[in-house]
A and B are shown apart, each in its own frame.
Chain A
């Protein structure tokens, strides 16, 4: 069996193992072990990938395996990875591993919780390894549907409403993607020949412009719904606020990246001509996402809502960068996906831990926590600083690269939207620092909060893994961006061949 398929097989085996154990403790241990193996496997994959590249492998995708599944329509189970998918897989493994530890104390229907969580992860891993559109879409939907149960059963607040809203909006997006995929499939051989769902094959041909004009918006908006594209982002604040900790982590950290990755890998890469023609509409929408999300975060009082709006802003930046369609910006987009994935997972983990102690998420009901629970508070500050783009942490590298890339366009339109989007950095600083000031500094406002205990061992595991990754990318971004850069090369070549800018 090839290494990529293992990324789907191991979660499935873990799920099977969970089904056969009885005790809650064993469920946790089995989940942690399975996802630990997955994390090790991801590390192995990174090294295998790097050494293969070093040895001179210059195909766009490595470790390609292709099995015919259905003859007509021509569906294959085809997997392969480039640098971008490898780092996304690594991100998923890290966040998932941290997520297992963050949900260590789930007591209600524990077994079902971990099964759903890992099922969701199976979809995510499968999505990133697929290079066949059908398989990709199958895994995409597999990643979305367990969310309903995860939020609906283990969530908080108006969980039934949020779960339904999130599921329906995301499935609505995937309905558009399905129509888009069929459109791509039936235009994948404009000069006759075998129709195909294989991304690499489709990239070799130019889909007729009339078809692109119809199917580019469908696919882009479809993936954009999951990437929190304004005005289809409304599921995100409600969904994230209601979801249990690990689900928020995985959803904001990884699942929203499926949107960005898909928009980039399917919509832009396969239909660059229409993307160039129609990008102005979506650039305006994504710039709106960026600024609107940031302003939205300022006025919120609930920590999870603040972070959810912040995610809308940051994920908007990913889509914004993708639409800039040049090497630097795309590089930034991928780094931003990784950076935001880690950072927001960290945030949600910390919020979950705070909530577990204080039983509130309202910032005006807390205060002075720095003295009581210094470990968690310091971690919260670090997460905040990463979020507002402090140099030395991952956020800075990502946003800097994106804005430099966006500024490479010299026309007025791109300049103006870039300046608008840059303003979000300032707004982000406002809401992050405001929360830090109210929540952590100053006097303790609630006497019950004076006797809180600091992080337990499993919470520390979860948090330290994430902080280590955030700082790692911030301090040594070069290995990451070089890995992404070489993989972006063939994509940028295809895009630039048609770029009118």
Chain B
């Protein structure tokens, strides 16, 4: 293997190596002292994240099954940043007594899903895509059931695995039709011969539906809230940010490179689904009391906004989608980080429990407010820029009605995000969350999120960089 091959595949190779290192280290570690394992994993992953940013050549491996390009590399780096944040945030949770016997398993499962996502994003062939997809999905079900002594965690795991199996089945059925009519699984070969015959469109619809389950687009979203509520909070964060982000990345790549011929067809579908997704996600979020369910519905509506970048099929759209996912990682993980910290310290997860939080934990409240404002798209934080570019991308192709519906939806979302701000800052409580001090890891993770929320918006070079990597139909 030459250096060039290594550079092209370094994300997957390094992650596999890290996985093995943790596995071996587990053998030599003391059963009651998991501290070194945690430190080792965090350091390994931090190094991998940093190495990911080394410029690398573009190219293909395995006869075109594996494709490396600038935009795909960027996507992997974005996911790496997100996973690093999730790992940092989960350290406190892992140190709890009930998790001490499965610390390294957590890292191994987490990293193996990430390897799957990376293969999925780099795929140039539907088989590679599918293998990556499954590798990314199945370990997550184990992670969702991680709190095995809790019934609803186990329930979340089984729900997730069932819904994944169902959606994979639908997706495979669609792929088989596409294979049957085109005779190939290579992305570029399919794109060359794909037309709009009925069977091919049908195959495409099945593929589309399968992906819609993964991104939890309405009406394929019903599993989301239950799974998110049942799973441990850091896994919920992972599901809502990393899994969703990876699925969005591969979906936009496939739509733009494999199915540009039928752009008119999927534009209409995405147009309607986008409206449905953001509206229904928003309306359901209003009524939620549990913060995990609340953030679940909020993340559904966020997916609706992200679809605005798909609808135009333009370069600006793809750039804004990648950019928004990055912004969304910082914002949503900021919010989840606070929820996790509060839950670790006090076991409280409801919105009412946050009453008067500002008076006991001002910094956490400020971070939460910043993250929520970023999710709502309030300037000057990054979410505003992200939303603005998504809307601009849709408007560039003349979808003004969609843009108007989307901006009105942001007002609904602002309402429920303000409900949490209201609880933290305005309301008072007899039994507020006690004042507590988070550990270094959590504070570092939250600090990164805050820096990301503030800086990614103003740093125009970042968006320019992503835009130059992107392409249109």
Contact = CB atoms under 8 A, between A and B. Distances in A.
A141 B309 CA distance: 23
Contact of A149 (B316, B425, B463, B467): B425
A33 B384 CA distance: 32
A182 B426 contact: no
Interface string B371-409: 001000011100010001101100110101001100110
Given A152-B422, A164-B422, A72 B395 contact: no
B400 A214 contact: yes
B17 interface: no
Contacts of A159: 426
Nearest to B411: A172
Contacts of A75: 460
Interface stretch (B53-61, B147-155, B413-421): B413-421
B391 A178 contact: yes
B425 A175 contact: no
B422 A175 contact: no
Residue of A168, A171, A186 contacting most chain B CB atoms (<10 Å): A171
A239 B378 CA distance: 20
B425 A168 contact: no
10 contacts: A70-B463, A70-B464, A142-B380, A160-B427, A171-B410, A172-B411, A175-B411, A178-B388, A179-B391, A186-B395
Contacts of A167: 414, 418
Contacts of B388: 134, 178
Contacts of A134: 388
Contacts of B398: 186
A285 interface: no
Most B Cβ at <10 Å: residue of A163, A175, A183, A218: A175
Given A149-B425, A172-B408, A72 B418 contact: no
Contact of B407 (A69, A163, A178): A178
B50 to A, nearest CB: 27
A422 interface: no
Contacts of A142: 379-380
Interface of B: 316, 373, 378-380, 384, 388-389, 391-392, 395-396, 398, 400, 403-404, 407-408, 410-411, 414-415, 418, 421-422, 425-427, 460, 463-464, 467
Interface in A146-160: 148-149, 152-153, 159-160
Contact of A72 (B380, B391, B467): B467
Given A179-B400, A186-B395, A153 B463 contact: no
B379 A182 contact: no
A163 B391 CA distance: 27
A71 B410 contact: no
A152 B418 CA distance: 11
A137 B380 CA distance: 10
B422 A182 contact: no
A71 B407 contact: no
A171 B395 contact: no
Nearest to A142: B379
B455 to A, nearest CB: 14
A176 B407 contact: yes
Contacts of B414: 167-168, 171
Contacts of B384: 138, 141
A138 B407 contact: no
Given A148-B418, A160-B427, A186-B395, 13 more contacts: A70-B460, A73-B392, A153-B425, A153-B426, A160-B426, A167-B418, A168-B414, A168-B415, A168-B418, A172-B408, A176-B407, A178-B388, A182-B403
Given A71-B464, A179-B403, A141 B379 contact: yes
Given A72-B316, A149-B425, A168-B415, A175 B460 contact: no
Considering residues B388, B403, B415, B467, which has the most beta carbons from chain A within 10 angstroms of its beta carbon? B388
A427 interface: no
CB-CB nearest 10 A-B residue pairs: A175-B407, A182-B395, A152-B426, A138-B379, A70-B460, A179-B404, A141-B379, A172-B411, A73-B392, A69-B460
Contacts of B391: 178-179, 182
A175 B379 contact: no
Contacts of B427: 160
Nearest to B427: A160
A163 B400 CA distance: 30
A186 B396 contact: yes
Contact of A182 (B373, B400, B460): B400
Instruction: Point out which of B379, B392, B463 has the most chain A C-beta atoms below 10 A from its C-beta.
Output: B379
Task: Decide if the interface of chain A is mainly helix, strand, loop or mixed.
Answer: helix
Interface string A194-224: 0000000000000000000010001000000
B395 A183 contact: yes
Contacts of A183: 395, 400
A27 to B, nearest CB: 16
B316 A73 contact: yes
B397 to A, nearest CB: 10
A496 interface: no
A310 B418 CA distance: 29
A494 to B, nearest CB: 25
Given A141-B378, A183-B395, A164 B389 contact: no
A359 to B, nearest CB: 22
A145 interface: yes
B427 to A, nearest CB: 8
B132 to A, nearest CB: 32
A287 to B, nearest CB: 28
Nearest to A175: B407
B303 to A, nearest CB: 20
Contacts of A148: 418, 421
A343 B21 CA distance: 72
A178 B391 CA distance: 9
A434 B407 CA distance: 44
Residue among B380, B392, B415 with max Cβ neighbours from chain A (10 Å): B392
A164 B392 contact: no
B113 to A, nearest CB: 34
Nearest to A218: B404
B466 to A, nearest CB: 11
A141 B411 CA distance: 13
Nearest to B410: A175
Nearest to A173: B411
Contacts of B395: 182-183, 185-186
Interface in A111-149: 134, 137-139, 141-142, 145, 148-149
A455 B74 CA distance: 63
B58 to A, nearest CB: 23
B386 to A, nearest CB: 12
Interface string A414-431: 000000000000000000
A8 B467 CA distance: 29
Nearest to B412: A168
A73 B389 contact: yes
Interface string A72-85: 11010000000000
Nearest to A155: B426
B418 A182 contact: no
Nearest to A159: B426
A164 B412 CA distance: 12
Contacts of A71: 460, 464, 467
A214 B395 CA distance: 14
A72 B425 CA distance: 38
A163 B422 CA distance: 10
Contact of B418 (A164, A176, A179): A164
A71 B392 CA distance: 13
A159 B428 CA distance: 14
Contact of B380 (A138, A179, A186): A138
A19 to B, nearest CB: 11
Interface string A36-66: 0000000000000000000000000000000
B464 A179 contact: no
Contacts of B380: 138, 142
A275 to B, nearest CB: 19
